[in-house]
Amino acid sequence: DNGLSEADPEVRGIIEKEKERQFKSLELIASENFTYRAVMEAVGSCLTNKYSEGLPGKRYYGGNEHIDELETLCQKRALDAFHLDGKKWGVNVQPLSGSPANFEVYTAVLKPHDRLMGLDLSHGGHLSHGFMTPKRRVSGTSIYFESMSYRLNESTGLVDYDKLEEMADRFKPKLIIAGASAYPRDFNYPHMRKIADAVGAFLMMDMAHISGLVAASVLANPFDYCDIVTTTTHKSLRGPRGGMIFFKKDTVLGVDLESAINNAVFPGLQGGPHNHTIGGLAVCLKYAQSPEFKAYQNKVVSNCRALASRLTELGYKLVSGGSDNHLVLVDLRPLGIDGARVEKILDMASITLNKNSVPGDKSAVVPGGIRIGSPAMTTRGFTEKEFIAVADYIHEGVQITIDAKRAVSGSKLQDFMRFVTSPEFSLKDRVSD
C-alpha cells in the first residue's frame, strides 16, 4: 500500500500548502489551536478502521477488546482532567463535534418543541444554542425546539442576568444554556442555577471555547452548578476535532441523565464512534493533567490580557472593556469601518482572525467587530511581548483599512469592497464559530 505522496500527490500538495499557511500566518481565530504531534499520530492511525457501535463492554460488533480499553481510558482521563468524581459524573466521549454534542443533549432531555434559552448569536452565542432570525429558523435547534435567546446588557457588554431571569419567568424554558463563542468574560453559574431552579429548567454549560481554561482551573468551574456540560475538544483544550458530554449520574427533573444522554448519542443521532478521534482525545486529556498544560492556560489568559490592554492603549473599544479569558472582541464601529473589511485586509498580511457581531449591530451580515484569540499563538510560544506586537500589527491593518476605504470611494475598487461586505460574501462565512 502506498503512502500519500505516491498515492495521491494532489492531496499531499494541498496538505503541504495548508501546513505552510498555518506555519507562516499569525493564527488568531479564537476557536482554533495547534494540536500535539502525538494526537495527530493517534488520529492518523488504524483506529479509524474499526466499527464499535455501543459503549465499552456493550458493543454491536466483535473485535472491540482494544477499542473498549481505549474508550474506557479516554472516559477516565476526561473525568480526571476536569477533577470529577466518577461516582457523581459520567462522560460520553463519542460526539463527533460540538454541534452534534449539543443537539444530542437537547434530544436527551427535551421533547420536540420544548423550550430552551441560549445566548443570542449576535451577542456571542453559538448557532447550536437556538439561533433564529425574525424570518427564519436557522439552526436545527430552533427548528425542532422553541428557542428564545437572552442577550448582553449593551452598555456593559456583560450577560444581562436580570433580564434573563425576567424572560425565563415568562418563557418557562426546560433548558437554559450557558456558554458562548464570542464572550470575553466568565459566566455567573450560581446566578444561572438560581434562574434555572426557579423555573424548573435543566442548566447546561457549553464550555467549548474555554474547556482548556476550565481544566486548568483558570476560570470558574461549571460542574459545581450545571446538570450537563458539553465541549468541543479542539479549541483551548488543544485536542483533535471532537466533542464530549459530561452528565450528572443522577435523575434530574425526572430524567436519568446517564441513559438519556448515552442513548441520544447512539442510537439516537450517531452510528459508529470515530475511534481514531477518541484515541487522539485520550492523548490530549493526558496532557491536560500536566503542570505544563496549566502553565500554558495561564499564559493564554495573560497573553490575551496583554493584547487587550495594548488595544485599549491604542484607543480601541473592547466589548465589556477587556477580557478574562482567551479572546477579545473589538468594536470597530466608532472608527466607521466594519469587521469584514478588516478581516480581509489582515488576511492579505497572513494575520488570520474573524469578523464578528458586536452588541447593537444593525446587521449580522456586516458585523461591526473582530474577534481575536490567544490560544493558537500561545501554543507556538508567543509571550505578552509578542501579543503587544500583534496588537500593533492589527492596528496597522485597521489604519490601512480606513485609508483604503477612503481611497476607493468612487473608484472601481469600491465595487470589490462592496462585494466584501455583501450578504453573499458574508454569509459564506459564519458570523462566528
Q: Which residues contact 104 (CB under 8 A, 6 or more apart)?
A: 92, 95, 245, 261, 264, 265, 268, 269, 270
Position among 90, 118, 173, 179 found at the interface with ligand PLP (CB under 6 A): 179
Determine, following the binding rule CB under 6 A, whether residue 27 of this chain makes contact with ligand PLP.
no
DSSP annotation of 46: G
Q: Which residue do the cell numbers 496583554 mark?
A: 306
Position among 35, 52, 64, 99 found at the interface with ligand PLP (CB under 6 A): 99
Determine, following the binding rule CB under 6 A, whether residue 31 of this chain makes contact with ligand PLP.
yes
Minimum Å distance from CB 76 to ligand PLP? 23
Residue 354 backbone phi and psi in degrees, to 5: -130, 145
Could you list the active site residues? 51, 53, 206, 232, 235, 241
Determine, following the binding rule CB under 6 A, whether residue 232 of this chain makes contact with ligand PLP.
yes
Minimum Å distance from CB 208 to ligand PLP? 4
Q: Which residue do the cell numbers 493564527 mark?
A: 27
Determine, following the binding rule CB under 6 A, whether residue 265 of this chain makes contact with ligand PLP.
no
Burial 186-222 (b: 16+ CB within 10 A, else e): bbbbebbbebbeebebbbbbbbbbbbbbbbbebbbbb
Answer yes or no: are the C-beta atoms of 431 and 367 closer than 8 Å.
yes
Position among 26, 84, 105, 208 found at the interface with ligand PLP (CB under 6 A): 208
Distance, CA of 371 to CA of 357 (rounded, Å): 9
Answer yes or no: are the C-beta atoms of 175 and 117 closer than 8 Å.
yes
Position among 181, 277, 297, 356 found at the interface with ligand PLP (CB under 6 A): 181
Comparing CB distances to ligand PLP, the nearer of 335 and 431 is 431
Determine, following the binding rule CB under 6 A, whether residue 270 of this chain makes contact with ligand PLP.
no
Residue 40 backbone phi and psi in degrees, to 5: -65, -35
Minimum Å distance from CB 379 to ligand PLP? 17
Minimum Å distance from CB 360 to ligand PLP? 21
Residue with the CB atom nearest ligand PLP in the bound state: 98
Stretch that binds ligand PLP, among 179-187, 193-201, 336-344, 370-378 (CB under 6 A): 179-187
Comparing CB distances to ligand PLP, the nearer of 304 and 337 is 304
Distance, CA of 169 to CA of 354 (rounded, Å): 35
For binding to ligand PLP (CB under 6 A), which residues are involved? 31, 97-99, 126, 128, 179-181, 206, 208-209, 232, 433
